[in-house]
């Protein structure tokens, strides 16, 4: 296991513990703030139901509001509707990577833009260097395109980058297919799926039950004499 020159992380159930989005609260906040400009604000809850993965909050808002106001409204929707708290140890881990000069980017399948995340994450103490959102790149994990978008932001080859995420299919298999080193996050361990049809081999990955374990892996890999 090589020491990483950068670390990419999933958001939901990796950086944050999350509960289902409260679309009704978000719609009410929108209606309260933009009632005259956004007559369809209360339709938010219905607008997102049964929508394809490509539906995004910002695109929906931009059909009704000028771009600067739509961006402001997207933040409002996030603040009113998203119910997340940092996973135990996540803040400390990000601080340790930052102190060591290791860039950290978040990569998420989400209905919110990366710009919105960059505004709201620091308010919760989680400062990352960038966020690559499926809403922006129009590709969702495990599609290699979203991992490549993150590597482009880093300017690093995939082999020098770890990807930490809780989903075996989206994070581990996706990152491995894009050439990154996957760290499967969280516990308890789920049974790994068998090799894919056609006998494709399972990727090598590390497993870390929590952020303290991720830090331990990283310190082990970065120790002198380890390659
Ligand atoms: Mg996740």
The reply to whether 155 and 201 lie within a common domain is yes
End-to-end CA, the chain: 6
A 10 A CB-CB count for 91 gives 16
Q: What is the pTM of this model?
A: 0.90
The reply to whether 67 and 13 lie within a common domain is no
The rounded Å distance from CA 207 to ligand 1 centre is 14
Range of the domain at 37: 22-81
The reply to whether 40 and 132 lie within a common domain is no
The rounded Å distance from CA 21 to ligand 1 centre is 14
Is residue 227 a part of any domain in this protein? no
CA atoms of 38 and 40, how far apart (whole Å):
5
The rounded Å distance from CA 131 to ligand 1 centre is 14
Q: How many angstroms from the chain centroid is the CA of residue 71?
A: 19
Question: CA nearest 156: which of 119, 134, 130, 135?
Answer: 130
The rounded Å distance from CA 113 to ligand 1 centre is 16
The reply to whether 156 and 185 lie within a common domain is yes
The rounded Å distance from CA 109 to ligand 1 centre is 8
| Lookup: tokens for 103 | 């860039």
When divided into structural domains, the chain yields a total of 2
The rounded Å distance from CA 134 to ligand 1 centre is 13
| Lookup: tokens for 205 | 């990955």
The rounded Å distance from CA 42 to ligand 1 centre is 29
* Per-position pLDDT tens, the chain of length 227: 789 999 999 999 999 998 999 999 999 999 999 987 887 888 888 888 888 888 999 999 999 999 999 999 999 999 999 999 999 999 999 999 999 999 999 999 999 999 999 999 999 888 899 999 999 999 999 999 999 999 999 999 999 999 999 999 999 999 999 999 999 999 665 555 555 555 556 678 899 999 999 999 999 998 765 55
The reply to whether 35 and 94 lie within a common domain is no
């Amino acid at each position: 296991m090589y020491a990483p020159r950068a670390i990419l992380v999933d958001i939901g159930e990796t950086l944050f513990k999350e509960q289902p989005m409260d679309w009704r609260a978000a719609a009410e906040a929108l209606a309260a703030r933009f009632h005259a400009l956004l007559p369809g604000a209360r339709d938010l809850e219905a607008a997102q139901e049964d929508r394809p993965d490509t539906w995004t909050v910002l695109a929906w808002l931009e059909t009704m509001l000028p771009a600067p106001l739509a961006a402001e409204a997207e933040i409002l929707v996030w603040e009113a509707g998203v119910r997340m708290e940092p996973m135990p140890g996540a803040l400390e881990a990000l601080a340790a990577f930052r102190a060591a000069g290791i860039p950290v980017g978040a990569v998420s399948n989400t209905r919110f833009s990366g710009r919105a995340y960059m505004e709201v994450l620091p308010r919760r103490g989680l400062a990352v260097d960038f966020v690559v959102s499926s809403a922006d790149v129009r590709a969702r994990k495990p599609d290699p395109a979203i991992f490549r978008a993150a590597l482009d932001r880093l300017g690093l080859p995939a082999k020098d980058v770890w990807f930490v995420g809780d989903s075996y299919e989206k994070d581990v298999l996706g990152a491995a297919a894009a050439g990154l080193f996957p760290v499967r996050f969280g516990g308890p361990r789920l049974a790994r799926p068998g090799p894919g049809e056609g006998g494709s081999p399972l990727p090598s990955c590390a497993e870390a039950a929590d952020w303290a374990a991720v830090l331990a892996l990283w310190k082990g890999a970065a120790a002198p004499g380890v390659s």
